[in-house]
């Protein structure tokens, strides 16, 4: 298995633009997680899905952030409109049980 | 999640055993202890987990005290590639999510 796949690996955008981050979980995993990591706040859980259904989105910072999982093999995290404070590394992880497997991350820079 | 306490940083000489402690004094009887690590610029990586018995795999050993209030992750022969931040996590059995704290920054030196 190729592991968790995230795209793009790097994204640079201007404030106000829409940003879409993509994730393909490991086949057979039934849970998917989106995290954000910054120097100031560390690694934060934003939202997670179980069997494609959002279970806990309490970590989503505000309405500008939304996440979808239309099927078992694909999820998106969208930021609209983006702001400079959204600059961070965004990780997607998948699991079957509590052993989570992380993707390489997307480094987002909003100027 | 049960709260965990780890030292902020540790050093270890290459080839020596690295022993990383974690306190989880409020752990309940059915909560597991998980260890992950994050090498610079990479996503976190699962290492090992345990309930009350000591565990060993190809990466590390996990020693859990009899009262389960603390544990130690052991890297038997540390290499430079083991330099990373190590996270000790005790997730709630009722939830799937992990809460990452600040971890221990392990520096392995030549």
Q: Which of residues 51-90 of B touch A (CB under 8 A)?
A: none
> What is the least distance, in Å, from the CA of B96 to any CA of chain A?
6
Asked if residue A18 has pLDDT above 80, the reply is: yes
- A110 pLDDT more than 90: yes
For position B58, what pLDDT does the model report? 94
Of the two residues B106 and A2, the one the predictor is more confident about is B106
Which has more confidence, A6 or B27? A6
pLDDT at A2: 81
Task: Say what the pLDDT of residue A13 is.
Answer: 97
- Which mean pLDDT values do the consecutive 10-residue runs of chain B (110 residues) have? 88 97 90 94 94 93 95 97 96 76 95
Taking the alpha carbons at both ends of chain B, their separation in whole angstroms is 37
- Which of A26, A43, A52 should be substituted to probe chain B, the one whose Cβ sees the most B Cβ atoms within 10 Å? A43
- Select the residue of B36, B43, B100 nearest A42 (Cβ to Cβ): B100
- DSSP per residue, A17-67: --EEEEEEPPTT--EEEEEEEETTTEEEEEEEEETTEEEE-TT--STTEEE
Structure tokens at B5: 């306490």
Between chains, do A105 and B42 touch, taking CB under 8 Å as contact? yes
pLDDT in the model for residue B94: 65
Map residue B13 onto helix, strand or coil.
Answer: strand
Q: What is the pLDDT of residues A52-85, one digit of tens each?
A: 999 999 999 889 999 999 999 999 999 999 999 9
3-class DSSP state of B57: coil
Interchain CB contact of B2 with A (< 8 Å): no
pLDDT for position B3 = 86
Task: Return the pLDDT at B29.
Answer: 80
- Ramachandran angles phi, psi of A17, nearest 5°: -80, 155
Look over chain A and give the mean of its residue pLDDT values, rounded to a whole number: 95
């Amino acid at each position: 298995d190729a592991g968790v796949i995230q795209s793009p690996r790097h994204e640079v955008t201007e404030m106000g633009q829409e940003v879409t981050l993509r994730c393909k979980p490991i086949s057979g995993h039934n849970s998917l997680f989106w995290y954000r990591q910054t120097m100031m706040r560390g690694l934060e859980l934003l939202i997670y899905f179980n069997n494609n259904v959002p279970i806990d989105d309490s970590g989503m910072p505000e309405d500008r952030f939304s996440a979808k999982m239309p099927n078992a093999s694909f999820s998106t995290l969208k930021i609209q409109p983006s702001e400079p404070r959204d600059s961070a590394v965004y990780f997607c992880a998948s699991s079957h049980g509590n052993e989570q497997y992380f993707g390489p991350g997307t480094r987002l820079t909003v100027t | 999640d049960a709260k965990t306490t780890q030292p902020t940083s540790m050093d270890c000489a290459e080839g020596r055993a690295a022993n990383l402690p974690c306190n989880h004094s409020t752990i309940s009887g059915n909560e597991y202890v998980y260890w992950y690590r994050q090498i610079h610029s990479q996503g976190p990586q699962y290492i090992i987990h345990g309930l009350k018995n000591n565990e060993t795999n190809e990466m590390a050993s996990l020693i859990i005290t009899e009262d389960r209030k603390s544990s130690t992750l052991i890297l038997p022969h540390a290499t430079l590639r083991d330099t990373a931040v190590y996270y000790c996590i005790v997730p709630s059995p009722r939830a799937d999510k992990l809460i990452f704290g600040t971890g221990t920054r392990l520096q392995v030196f030549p």
